[in-house]
Amino acid sequence: MLSTTVEIDGLPNSNLSPNARIFYKKKSGVFRREKKRMEDLIIMSGFRRKKLIEKATLELRFYPSDKRKRDIDNLISASKPWIDAMQGLIIVNDDFLHIPKISAEYMNGKWKKARTEIIITELL
């Protein structure tokens, strides 16, 4: 099994949380910017693939820079633009047929720099 790790600075934008109380137009703008940020990261880092992955699992790891409590389900939901950005660049599609499993882990502790890792493991 082949694995690729994409590292993103910071945690998912809190405005993308299902609990965020912001105007829809602002939320859609944040979604577009985060998706574009991930697309640029994939292209600049050389993760873009000529032959797209047909089937893979995703593992999300969240590393906070503070000791604030966060709901992991909101972090997963706010990561949606990043997962959507992988469609067509790394993975064929982001539906359940192509990504049968997504897992998440909140790495407790105070890390020097907040970051999110997305580990893509190709299933054969």
Average pLDDT, the chain: 89
Instruction: Name every residue whose Cβ is closer than 8 Å to that of residue 28 and which is 6 or more positions away in sequence.
Output: none
For residue 96, what pLDDT is reported? 83
Q: Where are the beta strands (DSSP E) in 1-124?
A: 3-9, 56-63, 101-106, 115-122
Assigned CATH for 3-122: 3.30.1330.70
Query: What integer pLDDT is reported at residue 14 of this predicted model?
Result: 86
Residue carrying structure tokens 């897992």:
103
Q: Is the pLDDT of residue 48 over 80?
A: no
Share of the chain above pLDDT 70, in %: 99
Inform me whether the pLDDT recorded for 18 exceeds 90.
Answer: no
How confident is the model over 61-100, as pLDDT tens digits? 999 999 888 899 999 999 999 999 998 888 888 888 889 9
pLDDT at 103 over 90: yes
In this prediction, residue 101 carries a pLDDT of: 93
Backbone conformation region of residue 88, classed left if phi is above 0, alpha if psi is from -120 to 50, else beta:
left
Confidence band of 23 (pLDDT split at 50, 70, 90): confident
